[in-house]
Amino acid sequence: MYGIKVLDFTRLLPGPLATYILAHLGAEVIKIEDTVGSDFTRYSPPFVDGKSAVFSFLNAGKKSVSINLKTEKGREIALELIKKVDVIVEGFRPGVMKKFGLDFDSVKNLNKKIIYCSITGYGQTGNLALKSGHDLNYISFAGIERMFISDEKGIAVIPQVQIADISSSLFAVIAILHALFERERDRENFSARFIDISMVETSLFFAVESLSKFLATGIQPEPFGEILTGGVICYNIYRTKDGRWLSLGALEPKFWENVVKALGLDLLPSDAMTKPDERENPAYKKLKDKIASMTSSEIEEAFSRYDIPYEFVRGYGEMVEDSHIRQRDIFYEIDMGEGRKFKLLKLGFMKKLSNPAPELGEHTREILKRELSLEDKEIDELKKEGVILAL
């Protein structure tokens, strides 16, 4: 993606994560912020050396151009920049970009090859298009949160991962890459492309295992009770003698047989798919009690002699220090200046970034001089008028 320029109007998590990925693929990401710094993650704790950890992570490698889009000159600058880029990503509710004259219909004739991606909660159309919301609301609407709530047990769990936000980021990247591929393949006939990403809809792909069953049968999945959500004893989580949690994933008969052998239990192949009910299921009690009588090192030794899908549940601290993760080289450090370092995450096919997350307006001067050929005195005048913030 070297040579691809992305104009990023997004805030918080969904859009910034999408452009974080694009930056790691080689794109130049120009983050458009207003002059007061309205990406709230800039001010989200915890802070490391005075900077938000979340903002520093999501916006590493990007350039910050600070423009007051409420001014006519600010909007003109944005429109001029749009002529120079390949991709626009925005995450406002439908109609917000139109107020600034920066929506797809307003800009597609300025840049006939532009790829314009809008990420919203409910999509650009439909009864709820203008409704506000956050990740929890979107997965609640999508039926996903229902699988984390048990009326019978009085349990309601909010997932620690942002399913709707992150799924929308990933599908935005997929859609943008697809559009770039099509543009490259047929430049003569390609016309400006609009991409409508709904967080409700992308989250459904993260629930495809249970959703597919519902679509086929019409039966609502049981909270905490399906095969992959704790409903069988072979695929579950158990507590060890030394207080660790063991995740067991012995779904296939061969793996279950190996578990039985490793632990020396008199359990049947048919026991694997029985429910984890201590009062009604002797097989579950035997398995649970056996694991509870063993330390994690004893389990490790017993399981090491067989092919068994298992892991001890780790915190992030254990995970990042593990030798396997170190060998995979997915975490790396960038220089924050004055000897300070900050860790980022990438996958094997991604390039490492070299620049930390930008200060507000850090690159306004650079971008306006390079892309719009403005002189320093013109930039200083715009800054004086409150049109831009430039360092």
Res 49: pLDDT: 86
> What is the share, in percent, of the chain residues with pLDDT greater than 70?
100
Which tens digits make up the pLDDT trace of 74-105? 999 999 999 999 999 999 999 999 999 999 99
Res 152: pLDDT: 87
Cα–Cα dist 340/223, whole Å = 45
Query: How many CB atoms sit inside 10 A of residue 268's CB?
Result: 11
Reply yes or no on whether the pLDDT at 263 is more than 90: yes
Domain definitions of the chain by residue range: 5-206+330-389, 235-239+245-312
The residue behind tokens 């969904």 is 14
Class of domain 5-206+330-389: alpha beta
Res 353: pLDDT: 97
Quick one: pLDDT band at residue 157, thresholds 50, 70, 90? very high
Amino acid at residue number 361: G
Confirm if 364 and 389 have CB atoms less than 8 A apart: yes
Contacts with 124 (C-beta within 8 Å, 6 or more apart), sequence order = 94, 118, 196
Res 285: pLDDT: 97
Which tens digits make up the pLDDT trace of 325-367? 999 999 999 998 888 899 999 999 999 999 999 999 999 999 9
Cα–Cα dist 17/158, whole Å = 21
Are β-strands 331-337 and 87-90 bridged in parallel, bridged antiparallel, or unpaired? unpaired
Integer-rounded Cα Rg, in Å, for the chain is 26
- Transcribe 199-213 into DSSP letters: HHHHHHHTTHHHHHH
Q: What is the pTM of this model?
A: 0.94
Confirm if 332 and 24 have CB atoms less than 8 A apart: no
Give the closest residue to 6 by CA, choosing from 104, 118, 87, 111: 87
Confirm if 368 and 65 have CB atoms less than 8 A apart: yes
Confirm if 5 and 30 have CB atoms less than 8 A apart: yes
Cα–Cα dist 333/90, whole Å = 28
Output the CA angle 48-49-52, nearest 5 degrees. Answer: 45
Which tens digits make up the pLDDT trace of 109-130? 999 999 999 999 999 999 999 9
Cα–Cα dist 164/141, whole Å = 11
SS3 sequence of 69-86: CCCHHHHHHHHHHHCCCC
Confirm if 237 and 230 have CB atoms less than 8 A apart: yes
Res 283: pLDDT: 98
Give the closest residue to 173 by CA, choosing from 26, 54, 282, 382: 26
Tell me how far apart the 2 most distant CA atoms of the chain are, in Å: 83
Res 230: pLDDT: 92
Which tens digits make up the pLDDT trace of 6-25? 999 999 999 999 999 999 99
Distances (CA, A) of 40 to 11, 13, 37, 132: 7, 10, 8, 16
Res 2: pLDDT: 87
Give the closest residue to 265 by CA, choosing from 240, 238, 291: 291
Give the closest residue to 66 by CA, choosing from 28, 31, 100, 101: 31
Instruction: For residue 176, give the H/E element and its range.
Output: helix 163-185
Give the closest residue to 234 by CA, choosing from 190, 194, 274: 274
What would the mean pLDDT of 254-277 be, rounded to a whole number? 97
CATH of 235-239+245-312, picked from 3.30.70, 3.90.1280, 1.10.40, 3.30.1540, is 3.30.1540
- On average, the pLDDT of the chain sits at 96
Instruction: For residue 383, give the H/E element and its range.
Output: helix 376-384
Output the CA angle 380-385-390, nearest 5 degrees. Answer: 45
Reply yes or no on whether the pLDDT at 146 is more than 90: yes
Reply yes or no on whether the pLDDT at 290 is more than 90: yes
Cα–Cα dist 73/374, whole Å = 13
Confirm if 11 and 64 have CB atoms less than 8 A apart: no
Q: How many CA atoms lie within 13 A of 262 on its CB side?
A: 24
Res 277: pLDDT: 93
Res 38: pLDDT: 81
> Are both 5-206+330-389 and 235-239+245-312 of the same fold?
no
Extended beta strands in 199-249, E state: 235-239, 245-249
Distances (CA, A) of 357 to 20, 271, 328, 353: 10, 53, 24, 10
Res 348: pLDDT: 95
Give the closest residue to 5 by CA, choosing from 22, 20, 18, 21: 22
Angle between helix 253-263 and 296-303 (nearest 10): 120
